[in-house]
Amino acid sequence: MTTQAAPTAEDFLADFRTMSEFGATGNGGVDRQAASQADVDQRNWFRTILEARGFSVRFDQIGNEWGLLERVPDAPFVVVGSHMDSQPTAGKYDGAYGVLAAAHAAFRLAAAWDNGARTAPKYNVAVVNWFNEEGSRFKPSMMGSSVYTGKLALADALAVTDTSGVTVDEAQRGHGFLSEWEGPEAAFCAEIHVEQGRSMERDGVTIGLVHSNWAANKYEFVVHGEQAHTGSAVIADRHDALLGASMLVVAAREIANAFPGKVHTSVGQLDVYPNSPVVVPSRVTLLLDLRSADEEALAEADAMLHRRVAEVEQAASVQVEQRTSHSWPVTPYQSEGVELGAKAASELGLPYKEVMTLAGHDSTNMKDIVPTLMLFVPSVDGISHNEREYTKDEDLVAGVDMLTEVVGRLCDGALED
């Protein structure tokens, strides 16, 4: 076996620039929604750089992309990665940075094992590009890791359709991204991500050690009204679904205002039918979520929301159907993993602090089945899901250094019982 030199920081940045060309928007961001052509193209590119470094690449039953480096026959894997799919007109760092950082960390470790700079590992490495983390084309979000961890049934996930009626199965199978394989056996997991917030930049730290996630309640509501002519229908006779949906949007913001700094709420998507300028809408579908680090506050906010739903039905003369819901509680990452991260950051001389994650990540699924570390690097001005999202090169590179050390320690068995 020929030992390859470890990639440099500039090699990583060059690969990052190349990766950012897939689905580039022209305004510094990307549009690389799950199983779109841009997503397909970057997955195939990612396969080539993994294979060039001696990794075998496989796709599992839901389409997660795995780069496998097996140095210990029959041993389980340290799973490391994030996601490369994006929101429409999104930032190029969200998720994608964590996948490429995982690959380069694994490349560095492979070189160190080959040249004797590190002792042989006890565990193998699996670099993962999770499918459909964002949930912008197919709902729910974090689909790939949800199937892998058994939280979402495979058949249900494959049957999900986008707004054009294309199923997850149809979108992926033609590209060879589905198989019968369930994925590698995980022993531990690590994920690095941009913070998507301001706290680390504000406090002047380079590494965030995530100790727990915020809780979230997500709902799909359908407001049912009745079509009518916007000009001739008497206002008192109208059953305006869009009016009812608009009241729910306002209600969500008012609920957040009732818990300043403690509860976040949003409505990120509205689908209006028939969406004609001269027709009172008869149906509006909206996605509404509530998030908090305080589960009591979240429960109170949720109760307020459902009271407001009843009020909206009466005020707008509509019916509100709760079609689906998706929720998760405040749950900690394993404290021993946070301690491992703190030791690694200290030895690398990287300023760090413990943080919470307000957003959901694939690691929030993985931590429920194996010991998992979640790491952050700073986001300039906290901008995210926006083409102006930005993280400095020096922080990206420091994150790769940190991830390399963390994954190396996991492969050495640092979190064994």
**pLDDT digit string (tens) for 235-257?**
999 999 999 999 999 999 999 99
pLDDT of residue 327: 86
More confident residue, 181 or 196: 181
**167 neighbors 63 (Cβ within 8 angstroms):** no
Considering the domain architecture, whether residues 284 and 300 belong to the same structural domain is answered as yes
Range of the domain at 186: 9-214+330-411
Considering the domain architecture, whether residues 232 and 336 belong to the same structural domain is answered as no
Neighbours of 55 (CB within 10 A): 22
Considering the domain architecture, whether residues 205 and 229 belong to the same structural domain is answered as no
> Long-range contacts made by residues 15-18, C-beta under 8 angstroms, separation at least 24?
15/49, 15/100, 15/104, 16/97, 16/100, 16/396, 18/45
Considering the domain architecture, whether residues 194 and 250 belong to the same structural domain is answered as no
Distance CA 39, CA 225 (A): 38
Distance CA 117, CA 108 (A): 10
Average pLDDT over residues 283-297: 96
pLDDT of residue 184: 98
Q: Is 313 helix (H, G, I), strand (E, B) or coil?
A: helix
Average pLDDT over residues 83-106: 97
Residue 71 lies in a domain: yes
Considering the domain architecture, whether residues 16 and 155 belong to the same structural domain is answered as yes
Residue 416 lies in a domain: no
Q: How far apart are the first and last CA of the chain?
A: 33
Neighbours of 222 (CB within 10 A): 18
Considering the domain architecture, whether residues 323 and 353 belong to the same structural domain is answered as no
Whether 178 has a pLDDT exceeding 60, the answer reads: yes
Average pLDDT over residues 15-35: 97
pLDDT tens digits along 292-328: 999 999 999 999 999 999 999 999 999 999 987 888 8
Considering the domain architecture, whether residues 193 and 261 belong to the same structural domain is answered as no
Domain boundary at 328, 354, 370, which? 328
Considering the domain architecture, whether residues 71 and 195 belong to the same structural domain is answered as yes
Neighbours of 178 (CB within 10 A): 19
β 263-273/283-292 pair status: antiparallel
Q: Report how far Cα 382 is from the mean position of its chain's Cα atoms.
A: 16
Number of domains in the chain: 2
Which tokens is 413 given?
């068995």
What are the C-alpha distances in Å from 192 to residues 129, 208, 324, 352, 415? 12, 9, 30, 14, 18
Dihedral angle computed from the Cα positions of residues 274, 277, 280 and 286, in that order, rounded to the nearest 10 degrees: 50
Distance CA 41, CA 228 (A): 45
Whether 219 has a pLDDT exceeding 90, the answer reads: yes
pLDDT of residue 2: 59
Considering the domain architecture, whether residues 169 and 300 belong to the same structural domain is answered as no
pLDDT of residue 151: 95
Residues in CB range of 217: below 8 A, 6 or more apart: 289, 290, 291, 298, 302, 325, 327
Helices 96-115, 9-19: inter-axial angle, 10-degree rounding: 150
Residue 118 lies in a domain: yes
Whether 112 has a pLDDT exceeding 70, the answer reads: yes
Distance CA 210, CA 372 (A): 10
**Residue 257, domain CATH:** 3.30.70.360
Q: Residues of 232-271 as b/e, b for ≥16 C-beta within 10 angstroms? A: ebeeeebbbbbbbbbbbeebbeebbeebeebbbbebeebe
Considering the domain architecture, whether residues 391 and 294 belong to the same structural domain is answered as no
Residue 162 binned pLDDT confidence (cut-offs 50, 70, 90):
very high
Among residues 158, 80, 94, which one has the least CA distance to residue 374?
80
Tell me how many degrees the CA angle 357-208-415 measures, rounded to the nearest 5: 95
- Of 36-40, 201-205, 325-329, give the lowest mean pLDDT range: 325-329
pLDDT > 90 fraction of the chain, expressed in percent and rounded = 94
Residue 20 lies in a domain: yes
Whether 1 has a pLDDT exceeding 80, the answer reads: no
Residue 45 lies in a domain: yes
Residue 1 lies in a domain: no
Whether 359 has a pLDDT exceeding 90, the answer reads: no
Residue 145 lies in a domain: yes
pLDDT > 70 fraction of the chain, expressed in percent and rounded = 100
Whether 258 has a pLDDT exceeding 80, the answer reads: yes
Whether 52 has a pLDDT exceeding 80, the answer reads: yes
Please give the sequence-ordered ranges of beta strands (E in DSSP) within 17-138, or none if there are none: 56-59, 65-69, 77-83, 124-130
Tell me how many degrees the CA angle 64-193-173 measures, rounded to the nearest 5: 15
Neighbours of 18 (CB within 10 A): 13
Whether 6 has a pLDDT exceeding 90, the answer reads: yes
**309 neighbors 221 (Cβ within 8 angstroms):** yes
Domain boundary at 310, 328, 346, which? 328
Residue 221 lies in a domain: yes
Considering the domain architecture, whether residues 80 and 202 belong to the same structural domain is answered as yes
Residues in CB range of 303: below 8 A, 6 or more apart: none
Omega before residue 274 within 30° of 0, cis: yes
**Residue 139, domain CATH:** 3.40.630.10
Considering the domain architecture, whether residues 165 and 50 belong to the same structural domain is answered as yes
Average pLDDT over residues 376-391: 95
Domain boundary at 294, 328, 362, which? 328
Residues in CB range of 296: below 8 A, 6 or more apart: none
